Structure 1
């Protein structure tokens, strides 16, 4: 009899639940293919130190991804064979950004700026260069005994000033002293007072809510019934798959062109997944915008990367030209940002009526908070994930951020699956497709899968004394080593990891990243090139894609 706590069995159950979800409108032939051709393998015992079924959730989504990839391959005359999803590799995928290495070093190692080609400094507002500014992003207790997640975003100065913290202060260097200073600053406000100031300034930040509190809020009510992704369509013509050039080893999405206008993790994960299946992905950002350099090795692998300034007429003309030839556009910016620059859904459809338009945000696309700024930590705080984690750790009433950005990566895979569904339907029956994904959609869906029972939780719970004001750096240091101790072989398996040439990091530059999780018998799913840093490539479709 299969254990109810088997990750392998749980992943299949998640996949079957997705396939039968009437809100997703997954075609019957895809469901049949998934049941017939997708298997889940690997050690069935949970090992990630969280009570949520995050490994099952991710692996189940990957199963649906495999079903669509196989069906698309057959549409194109290819024979993919059966697919396998390793649940342990799926678990690693949940924090693969933290595991990537550049020339054997972590992506933010300062020595990488010396010798060869330097790492580009995209932290233009110095929000990550010292612990003082880093800890503007963290959870702190308010005057009324609640907890608030402040977020410095990519420019911590505005949040710091609201808290009365001088951004240029240099005397606070020890983490314990910095935490005390922030704790005192946040403790001067009630949660409602601080939230009013943060939201009035248009900054990310949230009162930490329980699941029940969120579902009782107007925002929670607005999205309570949302599926893990929302795909809508209107009548439109069929669009044939691009011709596959001779003497190539085709993949499911070979020839598909994707404009990736995203930052951080969730949005880039959509584009990275499409690149894994052979799409040509051109990431577009601006030299005037801050960015996270640390995600580049993992989430920019397989992509090209160009600079375009959308605040300049020339830049808007360049992007319009790219849109005309694109199949997919991914918008990961704050709701309204691209609309204000002339590249919202209605505007780009005048340039390219068959474009699949993908949007990713924090709170969801309905409700009074839909336009708010947000990050993974904000979604966890507001949706009740952090409160539930604290409760399971024996600290009821607190809010503790889990170490894994599961909503980031999970939303990325949800966006990938929805995009593949749109492309499949566009080629099979025609149509114009819009796709919405959200960190809070994902969190509510993941919470609906339930928690591990107490016996499993007692075995996997972290031994480190984590509390509400442990930020991601402290979590990685306190919890990370135990993961390697539990399953050391996972971090060295050749079939899980790959090393790619990365000349952007010097003549002998190399990156080590996690391989794609989906594996077919006969159809390649692979990272075809090392990552480009921001602005490395021309703002044009590569010759190989035309």
Structure 2
């Protein structure tokens, strides 16, 4: 049996296929006690950012021909970045957060959590109660509360999901351990890595000077939404990639969410269901080095965007993909960090004693989203290094549920870390002018000797850019 590395950072680096000797290059500083939780959230956050920084340093070394730069992780920067959406201000305005119908609800036998931030999810939730989509929020809240109070959580979960919405029953860790969805993840690596085909090595131009941007000159198609995927591509943009985010015009993303995760990127609207849209996408794919997807497994297959198809059309491509649930009975279901926390027993654990009497709790950050995002960026960077050395198209697959299992079952048990500390995040915040207004935002936590201190461009309006590559 292979020995599991003792530290969270060692576990993550092993899952990425990294050389264990490079772990000695990682140093950590910053205040103690950040991201306080019953589960080892700080260790997850530090590890995810640490291996992402190390993967970036490793690729930089390949492109400079020099030694791998040392990595320096500041826990304050990491903790601030893991709640970047909370620190964001747009001309002084806080961004829109969870919608009124995205919350916990008491049921006849426990609790259920809904996610209704998107209008179509809200409409489907209300549709299960026979209510129109334009029902006022206060009336909708009263109606949902009254209905759910007399129903069992599992029945609500089935009904709302069947209608295309999101509602997840709160489970204890023991209930989740026996759930077929958790059983399906047994034996699945934290990061699934696969080589697709025998494409030749494709070397990028050598790097010189500072800052070191190891992804400079690389082109990334970003087909992700919400938080985890956009965090990954925001990181690739920080490291120099030309990142082009693609959204369907008929399924708009939250502009406020993009104001947090859109740094360094450009954004276009492309309807892949149309012939003209597919033609534009094909032209972009012909020049892409990386494709990152964040949709449910199978959701993009009808557009010919399976990993195998993408690799066949663009040999040497690196593909990163993530989903909420990964494998098993719910592999194709919708999901977000908040509902994955509820299903996997995290919410009950974080509520502490008496959890079944009051509403479940939550992690101090959307740690599954942010953690998986940095792991995904690390997986892409490591795949680029492997492609640089050995050729072949590469595929890396991650899921929020698998990251949840890492947090709950694999990161070494630590002393209680629930006591909060006085943490002033100002050191790790800055302000930037943008087409959207003056933005206050978190600084990037990815750091190594010579690393960039910030992004080359601020976020702009969704869909406002041209569908062309900027890099030669």
TM-score in terms of structure 2 length = 0.91
Cα pair 1:215 1:224 within 8 Å, conserved: no
Alignment of 1:160-239 (within 5 A): 160-170=126-136, 173=138, 180-239=142-201
Matched, 1:46 2:37: no
The answer for the alignment partner of 2:74 in structure 1 is 86
Matched, 1:26 2:20: no
Taking the aligned partners of 1:347 and 1:81, their CA distance within structure 2 comes to 36
Q: What secondary structure is seen at the aligned counterpart in 2 of 1:106?
A: coil
Matched, 1:331 2:293: yes
Matched, 1:499 2:431: yes
Q: Cα offset for 1:248?
A: 8.2
Among 256, 259, 278, the residue aligned to 2:218: 256
The answer for the alignment partner of 1:321 in structure 2 is 283
Change (3 A) 1:452 1:221: same
The answer for the alignment partner of 1:395 in structure 2 is 355
Matched, 1:537 2:465: yes
Taking the aligned partners of 1:526 and 1:516, their CA distance within structure 2 comes to 6
Among 111, 114, 121, the residue aligned to 1:147: 111
Among 10, 23, 27, the residue aligned to 1:16: 10
Of 232-241 and 316-325, deviating more is 232-241
Q: Cα offset for 1:245?
A: 8.3
Change (3 A) 1:70 1:311: same
Matched, 1:487 2:423: yes
Aligned residues: 463
| Bigger relative CO (Cα 8 Å, ≥ 6 apart) | 2
Q: What secondary structure is seen at the aligned counterpart in 2 of 1:329?
A: strand
Cα pair 1:305 1:533 within 8 Å, conserved: yes
Q: Cα offset for 1:236?
A: 1.9
Q: What secondary structure is seen at the aligned counterpart in 2 of 1:358?
A: strand
Q: Could you list the per-position Cα deviations for residues 221-270 of structure 1 after superposition, in whole angstroms to 9, with x for gaps in the alignment?
A: 11033232211114423433322588985511111110001110011111
Q: Could you list the per-position Cα deviations for residues 4-28 of structure 1 after superposition, in whole angstroms to 9, with x for gaps in the alignment?
A: xxxxxxx993212333x4xx26232
The answer for the alignment partner of 2:101 in structure 1 is 136
Change (3 A) 1:277 1:162: same
Cα pair 1:224 1:444 within 8 Å, conserved: no
Taking the aligned partners of 2:294 and 2:150, their CA distance within structure 1 comes to 34
Taking the aligned partners of 2:377 and 2:362, their CA distance within structure 1 comes to 25
The answer for the alignment partner of 1:474 in structure 2 is none
Matched, 1:70 2:57: yes
Among 518, 527, 532, the residue aligned to 2:446: 518
Q: What secondary structure is seen at the aligned counterpart in 2 of 1:330?
A: strand
The answer for the alignment partner of 1:376 in structure 2 is 337
Q: What secondary structure is seen at the aligned counterpart in 1 of 2:441?
A: strand
Q: Cα offset for 1:106?
A: 2.1
Q: What secondary structure is seen at the aligned counterpart in 1 of 2:362?
A: coil
Cα pair 1:66 1:518 within 8 Å, conserved: yes
Alignment of 1:332-351 (within 5 A): 332-351=294-313
Alignment of 1:453-472 (within 5 A): 453-454=415-416, 456-457=417-418, 459-460=419-420
The answer for the alignment partner of 1:101 in structure 2 is 89
Taking the aligned partners of 1:301 and 1:409, their CA distance within structure 2 comes to 15
Taking the aligned partners of 1:367 and 1:56, their CA distance within structure 2 comes to 27
Q: Cα offset for 1:203?
A: 2.4
Taking the aligned partners of 2:210 and 2:449, their CA distance within structure 1 comes to 18
Cα pair 2:35 2:365 within 8 Å, conserved: no
- List alignment gaps of at least 5 residues for structure 2: none
Taking the aligned partners of 2:72 and 2:27, their CA distance within structure 1 comes to 5
Q: What secondary structure is seen at the aligned counterpart in 2 of 1:296?
A: helix
- List alignment gaps of at least 5 residues for structure 1: 1-10, 109-127, 461-482
TM-score in terms of structure 1 length = 0.79
Taking the aligned partners of 2:163 and 2:460, their CA distance within structure 1 comes to 34
Q: Cα offset for 1:54?
A: 1.2
Q: Could you list the per-position Cα deviations for residues 410-430 of structure 1 after superposition, in whole angstroms to 9, with x for gaps in the alignment?
A: 110111111111111011112
Taking the aligned partners of 1:163 and 1:452, their CA distance within structure 2 comes to 44
Cα pair 1:97 1:295 within 8 Å, conserved: yes
The answer for the alignment partner of 2:392 in structure 1 is 431
Taking the aligned partners of 2:90 and 2:406, their CA distance within structure 1 comes to 34
